[in-house]
Structure 1
Amino acid sequence: MGRVTRKRRWTAVVVAGAAVAVAGLLWFKPWALWVDETVNEALPSAEATPRAPRTGAPSVPAAPSPAGPVTVAQGRFISHEHATTGVVKVVRLADGSHTLRIEGLDTSNGPDLRVWLSDAPVKEGTAGWGVFDDGEYVDLAGLKGNKGDQNYPLPADVDWSAYPSVSIWCDRFDVSFGAAALARA
């Protein structure tokens, strides 16, 4: 009888250990550190679409946009929890909308990475790792890829100038992978 009880205990310990290991792997996603996701989006444009000519009518070219995309603020990423490089820009499009553009991004991949506008100051080193969720922030979207060029439309009801920094934020572990201070262009 003691032998059966001991065997059941060991089985329960092994099953529980396996469950904890699987849960830990799913939570930490360590394989993400070795998997790169590259995104190469072009800068969005808000140009007029050319109209198709009517039959027998001469072709009418599209009217030029009143103003092309204009960079109104920008900054360079500094590294926090993970080595992060690239440039971030706030770009005003011809239709008056704004887009956050990240160019040449190179950072580690990770679980639940987000792009945040924040009112927190960008600080070097470990002092800057966790400051971005201390104040006000706008979660723009999940990071599309850990490498390349990507765009994040800024909501029309958000005054982006009230948020002088951008963070690649790991929401799972509440830490900044890298951040950039935005300066008016």
Structure 2
Amino acid sequence: MGRLVSKRWWAGTAVVAAIGVVAGLVWFKPWALWVDETVNEALPSATGTAAGTATGTATATATATAPTSAPAPPMTTTPTGPVTVARGSLISHEHTTTGAVRMVRLADGTYTLRLEGLDTSNGPALRVWLSDAPVKEGRAGWHVFDDGRYVDLGRLKGNRGNQNYPLPADVDWSAYTSVSIWCDRFDVSFGAARIDRV
């Protein structure tokens, strides 16, 4: 009888241990550290529909009112391409991280955060955060980004490459001073950059 109880106890313990191991693997996803995901996106460009319509109308009016022998006067136009308004360089925190960060104003007035030449480790629940926290070197900077205000721009698309993260229309990017590749699973920064106006 004692042996039967002992066998059942060991069998139950083994099942619980196996469930614990599987749950731990699902939670930590250690294999992600050895799997690279490269995403290369082009910098967004404006469609130019509204600007094209306005330019066409202005050109037609100028041509109609100008003398036929004189050329049309030059027109003042707003930039039609992306403009970098702030930039920074990523530093390593919990994982070795390199690359550049740019805040880009598009021709339609919207803003996009762009990661260029990103190279970091893969991991579970990696997010891109725009934050008001200071960027600190070493372990002192690993956990500061959830202490103040931040905007979650979405899941990190890949741990390598060039990627775009559009800002919500109601977000004033100038109220934030840093960007973090944030592991939401373990509340730690893989790498971060201070962004400065240009």
- Scaled by the length of structure 2, the TM-score of the pair is 0.85
Question: Which residue does the alignment assign to 1:112?
Answer: 125
1:30-179 equivalence runs, <5 A: 30-48=30-48, 66-67=78-79, 68-179=81-192
Question: Which residue does the alignment assign to 1:14?
Answer: 14
Query: Which structure shows the bigger proportion of residues in helix conformation?
Result: 2
Q: In 1, Cα distance between the equivalents of 2:143 and 2:28?
A: 18
3-state SS of paired residue (2:158): coil
Output the amino acid matched with 2:45: S
Q: Number of paired residues?
A: 172
In the TM superposition, what whole-angstrom CA distance separates every residue of 1:25-59 from its partner, at most 9, and x where no partner exists? Answer: 001000000000000000011132599xxxxxxxx
3-state SS of paired residue (1:176): strand
Question: Which residue does the alignment assign to 1:60?
Answer: none
3-state SS of paired residue (1:131): coil
Output the amino acid matched with 1:100: L
Question: Which residue does the alignment assign to 1:23?
Answer: 23
3-state SS of paired residue (2:145): helix
Output the amino acid matched with 2:44: P
Output the amino acid matched with 2:141: G
Q: In 2, Cα distance between the equivalents of 1:133 and 1:86?
A: 22
Output the amino acid matched with 1:70: V
Q: In 1, Cα distance between the equivalents of 2:78 and 2:5?
A: 81
Q: How far apart are residue 156 of structure 1 and its match?
A: 1.1
3-state SS of paired residue (1:132): coil
Output the amino acid matched with 2:159: N
Q: In 2, Cα distance between the equivalents of 1:162 and 1:66?
A: 25
Q: In 2, Cα distance between the equivalents of 1:131 and 1:14?
A: 40
Q: How far apart are residue 182 of structure 1 and its match?
A: 0.3
Q: How far apart are residue 114 of structure 1 and its match?
A: 0.3
Q: In 1, Cα distance between the equivalents of 2:33 and 2:165?
A: 23
Question: Which residue does the alignment assign to 1:59?
Answer: none
Q: How far apart are residue 171 of structure 1 and its match?
A: 0.3
3-state SS of paired residue (2:46): coil
- Scaled by the length of structure 1, the TM-score of the pair is 0.90
Q: In 1, Cα distance between the equivalents of 2:16 and 2:168?
A: 46
Q: How far apart are residue 83 of structure 1 and its match?
A: 0.3
Q: In 1, Cα distance between the equivalents of 2:29 and 2:176?
A: 30
